[in-house]
Amino acid sequence: MENKKFYITTPIYYPSAEFHIGHCYTTVIADALARYKRLAGYDVFFQTGTDEHGQKIEKKAEEAGVTPIEYINPIVDNAKDLWKSLQISYDYFIRTTDEQHVKAIQKIFKKMYDKGDIYKGEYKGLYCTPCESFWTESQLDEDGRCPDCHREVKEVSEEAYFFKLSAYQDKLVKFYDEHPGFILPLTRKNEMLNNFINPGLEDLCVSRTSFTWGVPVDFDPGHVVYVWVDALSNYITSLGYPDENAELFKKYWPADLHLVGKEIVRFHTIIWPCMLMSLGLELPKQVFGHGWLIIDGGKISKSLGNYKDPRDYINTYGVDAVRYFLLREVPFGNDGSFSEEALITRTNADLVNTLGNLVNRTIAMSKKYFDSKVENPKVNESVDDSIISYAKMLPSLVDNKMNALKANEALEDIFELLKRSNKYIDDTTPWILAKDEANNDRLKTVLYNLLESIRISAILLRAFIPSTSDRIFKMLNTKNIEFDTLEFGNLETNITLNESEILFNRIEVKEEK
Ligand code: MSP
């Protein structure tokens, strides 16, 4: 029998500065997938959180003249508020400063140490402080700087613990071979093999003595656990690990999907699987490395400060305009541009013209011709097929796209039904049918077909733009809003539609500028 649970995670974000639209991107996509799976009947556990330790945060707090936790707390509260505004339906929000997590990290570290996978040595290396990443000479960019952020790296040397990554090289490659869908998109898998694994995995420094803001290694005071061991373990400590009998752990591990940005695929597909092998645990089923949202051709970065509070966009354009843009605009896996203009264009074209217009025209016609009563005398004509046969196919089209994590294409498919429905109005010309009583039953059928397309679209849109779906259901006055009512023809007859309300207002570009 199919396992009906679905455990999905976002990365845990650094609360080193306020969150920007790039963080919203990952989180909204994860939210849509989580909502979709819930609607499809899965028992979903959707986790996000914050990665609170490390030198960078220690420094930021110092600069601000506060303790690290005093520095972090308001940022974390603000992040939670942002997720609320964006209607993120997470089941659990983990903070790496949570007591349960800290204790679990100490046990995880000790467990790997006892197994002989962690040993003490001397660390000499090149370290990028903003990225909290160590690099080897060969990995640096052309200018000898950090390959991710292109800032200067510094040489460090100190006593440190190491994790025997090298011991897991063959097992990791074997795992990749046996699980071809583990890393997606495939280009990222090739990057991992060519850039990191095939040249030979080097052991990983997993403790530091040069800063204190971290989980202390309890059997060796002075050492704190290196951030990536601390951070990656969040995916299991939240479930109750190291208690392997914890209910959540038994139910949800291994994760079905870790959604991560492309620059941290390396940590999730090399370090994390090797740590799990060391702990004797199952590996996650899939890691998807998505592209970045770019502003003005560059990365949106907290350090560069080229971003707005995402709540400004939500307050100006509405939560569903922002969610829709993030889900629809960029083919998942690629980089994509974010700009307010693009958000406006997308909203006007799809949400105002295609969706909003269809709903308002249809409901207005139902009111005008039949006092908002829904009936279906089934006087069909061949033109109906353009929407009926497509609507019948649509749930499986969407399901395939969502399973392949192509939310943008799933939305494109749903909007195809809405576009066809708008065309269907032009083709069937209800205002001409309405001129002759003899066409009454045909006109009722046309309106039924339109309302039914709207209902089916609204059910499928629920994962993406939930409030809009709710507003449509309210107008339709239908109880059939679940996936098991997706079959064409399930809209109740003899119901009366509610008053139509404007779903989205056209955004005038000039005014906004
Ligand atoms: N704390 C680590 C992750 C640990 S996961 C065990 C981290 N944090 S982060 O805050 O820097 O980034 C978190 C995620 O946000 C990454 O997946 C990153 O790709 C994503 N994004 C940050 N800026 C982004 C864009 N401009 N566009 C898309 N995603 C972006 O790395």
- 430 or 59: which leads in pLDDT: 430
d(CA 430, CA 418): 17
Residue 291 has what pLDDT?
93
Reference 497, options 359, 377, 374, 362; nearest CA is 374
pLDDT digits (tens, 9 = 90+) for 280-291: 999 999 999 999
pLDDT-derived band at 484, boundaries 50, 70, 90: very high
Angle at 487 between CA 486 and CA 491, to 5 degrees: 80
Look up residue 326 and give its amino acid: L
Query: For 57-81, what is the mean pLDDT?
Result: 96
Instruction: Look up residue 400 and give its amino acid.
Output: N
- Protein residue whose Cα sits closest to atom 5 of ligand 1: 11
**Does 214 contact ligand 1 (Cβ within 6 A)?**
no
Q: Are 479 and 492 in contact (CB under 8 A)?
A: yes
Pocket mutation for ligand 1, best pick of 95, 264, 308 (most atoms within 8 Å of C-beta): 264
State which of 260, 269, 296, 307 you would mutate to test the pocket of ligand 1, scoring each by most atoms of that ligand within 8 A of its C-beta. 260
- List phi, psi (to 5°) of 505: -90, 140
Q: Whose alpha carbon is nearest atom 30 of ligand 1?
A: 22
Nearest CA to ligand 1 atom 19: 261
Q: DSSP E strands: which ranges in 136-238?
A: 154-163, 183-184, 204-205, 207-208, 224-225
| Mean pLDDT to the nearest integer, 35-50 | 98
pLDDT tens, residue by residue, 145-162: 998 889 999 988 889 999
Q: Where are the beta strands (DSSP E) in 38-195?
A: 43-50, 92-95, 118-128, 133-135, 154-163, 183-184
Q: How far is CA 20 from CA 68, 149, 205, 302, 347, in A?
A: 21, 17, 30, 8, 20
Residue 513 has pLDDT above 50, yes or no: no
**340-511 falls under which CATH superfamily?**
Isoleucyl-tRNA Synthetase; Domain 1 (1.10.730.10)
Task: Please tell me if the CB atom of residue 95 comes closer than 6 angstroms to any atom of ligand 1.
Answer: no
Mean pLDDT of 134-143: 84
User: pLDDT tens, 389-434?
Assistant: 999 999 999 999 999 999 999 999 999 999 999 999 999 999 999 9
